[in-house]
Chain A
Amino acid sequence: MSCEPEKVTALVDDALAGGERDRALAHLAGCPGCREQADTERAIHEQLRRLPSPEMPPGLDTRLRARLAERRPSPPGRLALLALPVAAVLLLVVWARGLAPVVAWELSEDHAHCYSHAEPPARVRSTDPAVVGGWFSGQGTPMPSLPAEVGGTRLFGARYCYLPDVSAAPHVYYIGPGRRLSIFVLPHAARFDDGYRVRSGGRTVALLHVGPTVVGVVGENPADVETAVQRLRADPGSRRALAEELALSR
């Protein structure tokens, strides 16, 4: 075999196999020039192998991770994934909001929430049904006639309460010694048999249709709830009529 310098390189790198390797070794044994090349290349390999690995500049690692983080699925992408279950829940909410048990639960929770304050949060405070009803009518919300008193309670005031589906429902407060009552006017239709009653969270909830509106009554005292339902049912349908009735009854 004549001198093949590239084969010597491959031999140094242990990249020859079988007969090729044997032939190269045999040639090396009788060729001082190729042996010298092999020794030199081994020395170079060792020198390079032992070179210290360059340090990364300070902060590069942080910069790299920051750039990589930018390329990761962006927040909108992740939000889109989150949005799927959220959308499903919203659909469910929209579908379920007409279900009487769901509506009753919502109203019962809101009743408890508002009366958990020392004084329920009211946007309009008056014992006069005309004032409270007028406040809602002034904002374009049709209202049934409100009683001034229900059982042992008296009209206190009202506000809009925001239901989980972000619709707003008038919430009217009636307060008496040791007893509280809520009348809600729902902004959407509810699917229930008229006269629906349920106990929810230790409270009685009644749902009824009053003219075009759906009204919910909530209270700890079932008798007060019944009284309110009767008063609302008996309502002639207009505040004026109610006011006149009240005026006559005084």
Chain B
Amino acid sequence: MSLDERFESEVMPHARSLYGTALRLTRSPQDAEDLLQETLLRAYRGFASYRPGTNVRAWLFTILHRVRTDMLRKRGRSPQTTELTDDGPAVVPEHETRLTSGNEDVQRALAAVPEVFRSALVLRDIEEFSYEEIAGILGVPVGTVMSRIHRGRAHLRRLLAGRTP
């Protein structure tokens, strides 16, 4: 099997879940497309040195998060510096504070969680990576992963609690 065929069969099936995560991180279809595209291009460049049999999914999400960090750095933003200090819920638009129930409300609440916590939540609760895998993907200690997930869920709980009359 050629390298291109392996890339097609091992990497491309993950494109949709990478796109989902990209959209949840960027909250913009255009940015999500750019993020996914750059992720796949980097993956393609690095695929020759990627060892078959290792965790291709975790490898792809690691690339995605590095690309995202680079994108934010270029824009002069960093989730670590601007959002880590934000302990309370992000500013949530008026209509999003009166959430009722259902997926859309959860999606909106998740989108309102600061990105540094949101990325940990998406990796854990949606993509169901283990703490160790998330630590590898984000390049932080397992204790930090635990802390970010905890705080992310606390954010989400407060946002969702705001929906009840």
- Give the B-binding residues of A (Cβ under 8 A): 5-10, 13, 15, 40-41, 44-45, 47-57, 60-61, 63-64, 67-68, 71-72
Nearest CB on A from B78, distance (A): 23
> Which of B49-57, B58-66, B121-129 lies on the face that meets chain A?
B121-129
Q: Is the CB of B37 within 8 A of A67?
A: yes
* Contact residue among B17, B23, B44, B146 (Cβ-Cβ distance under 8 Å from A71): B44
| B-side interface mostly | helix
Decide yes or no whether B20 CB sits under 8 A from chain A: yes
Once A48-B110, A51-B103, A52-B103 are accepted as A-B contacts, the answer to whether A64 and B15 lie under 8 Å apart by CB is yes
Q: Is the CB of B150 within 8 A of A9?
A: yes
* Contact residue among B37, B107, B157 (Cβ-Cβ distance under 8 Å from A64): B37
A5 to B147, CA, bound (A): 9
* Contact residue among B29, B121, B146 (Cβ-Cβ distance under 8 Å from A6): B146
Sort A-B residue pairs by CB-CB distance and give the 7 closest, nearest first: A48-B125, A9-B150, A15-B131, A53-B20, A6-B150, A54-B20, A45-B125
Once A45-B125, A48-B110, A64-B37 are accepted as A-B contacts, the answer to whether A54 and B23 lie under 8 Å apart by CB is yes
**Binary interface encoding of chain B residues 1-45 relative to chain A, with 1 for a CB under 8 A from any of its CBs, else 0:** 000100100000001110110011000010001001100110011
Once A6-B146, A44-B156, A54-B23 are accepted as A-B contacts, the answer to whether A49 and B125 lie under 8 Å apart by CB is yes
A13 to B152, CA, bound (A): 14
Once A53-B17, A60-B19 are accepted as A-B contacts, the answer to whether A71 and B41 lie under 8 Å apart by CB is yes
Residue of A nearest to B132 (CB): A15
Cβ–Cβ < 8 Å partners of B103 in chain A: 50-52
B interface residue count range (under 10 / 10 to 19 / 20 to 34 / 35 or more): 35 or more
A41 to B150, CA, bound (A): 9
A-B contact count (CB 8 A): 83
Q: Is the CB of B106 within 8 A of A72?
A: no
Cβ–Cβ < 8 Å partners of A41 in chain B: 153
A48 to B20, CA, bound (A): 13
* Contact residue among B29, B122, B124, B125 (Cβ-Cβ distance under 8 Å from A57): B29
Q: Is the CB of A56 within 8 A of B19?
A: yes
Sample (6) of A-B pairs whose CB atoms are under 8 Å apart: A9-B149, A45-B153, A51-B103, A53-B20, A54-B23, A68-B44
A6 to B154, CA, bound (A): 11
Residue of A nearest to B102 (CB): A47
* Contact residue among B16, B41, B128 (Cβ-Cβ distance under 8 Å from A68): B41
A56 to B17, CA, bound (A): 9
Q: Is the CB of B146 within 8 A of A10?
A: yes
Cβ–Cβ < 8 Å partners of B16 in chain A: 53, 55-56
Residue of B nearest to A41 (CB): B153
Nearest CB on B from A223, distance (A): 59
Decide yes or no whether B130 CB sits under 8 A from chain A: yes
A68 to B37, CA, bound (A): 9
Pick from A15, A50, A61 the residue with the most CB of B within 10 Å: A15
Once A56-B15, A56-B19 are accepted as A-B contacts, the answer to whether A40 and B128 lie under 8 Å apart by CB is no
Nearest CB on A from B137, distance (A): 15
A13 to B146, CA, bound (A): 9
A64 to B33, CA, bound (A): 9
Cβ–Cβ < 8 Å partners of B41 in chain A: 67-68, 71
A84 to B92, CA, bound (A): 63
A189 to B110, CA, bound (A): 82
Cβ–Cβ < 8 Å partners of A45 in chain B: 124-125, 153
A8 to B157, CA, bound (A): 15
- Near A by CB (< 8 A), chain B positions 103-149 give 103, 106-107, 110, 121-122, 124-126, 128, 130-131, 142, 146-147, 149
Once A49-B126, A60-B33 are accepted as A-B contacts, the answer to whether A13 and B106 lie under 8 Å apart by CB is no
